[in-house]
Amino acid sequence: MRRFTAPLAAVALTLPALFLSATDASAAPADKGQVLSSWTQTSASSYNAWNAARANQANWSAYGFDWSTDYCSTSPDNPFGFPFKNACARHDFGYRNYKAAGTFDANKARLDSAFYEDLKRVCDGYSGVSGTACDGTAWTYYQAVSVFGYTKAVDGSATA
């Protein structure tokens, strides 16, 4: 009977460590909020960091981010040929992830501002009449999410 005591003791000591490490591995990293915030600022560098992460989502799987998007919802993704699709995707990312974190209200205005800045950066690539049309369309999209985005994000009927 003595022969089994040492192996049983080793198993008894190993099991809690296995369960604790499994629990720790499934938890989101402590810096999830900081990463989310860094990817939802108004700057081009914030947009670029988010876009790089979006292209490599598997590298961020431990964070449990919601990368799903319906792009510009019921509005055209590329109105008048202006490529707003990626700006809409980042806006969805912010809305969905802050809503999941329970901090949407505190971040909505910044998310909408970041969306507008992303749209204006798209418009920077146009000049003359096209630039003016793009700027006006960007303003319209921004106003729409600023006014209507909250209702859709809170009631769950849409995200932006």
- Give SS3 for 68: coil
CA distance 68 to 71: 9
- Spatial separation of the C-alpha atoms in residues 80 and 7, rounded to whole Å: 72
pLDDT at 9: 43
Q: What pLDDT does 153 receive? A: 45
Q: Among residues of the chain, what percentage have pLDDT more than 90?
A: 74
- Residue 40 phi/psi, 5-degree rounding, is -125, 30
Among all residues, which ones are annotated catalytic?
Answer: 91
pLDDT digits (tens, 9 = 90+) for 72-118: 999 999 999 999 999 999 999 999 999 999 999 999 999 999 999 99
* pTM of the model as a whole: 0.79
Q: What is the C-alpha separation between 109 and 53, in angstroms, rounded? A: 23
Instruction: Please report the domains of the chain, with CATH numbers, ordered by start residue.
Output: 29-155 (1.20.90.10)
Q: Report whether 39 contacts 46 (CB < 8 A).
A: yes
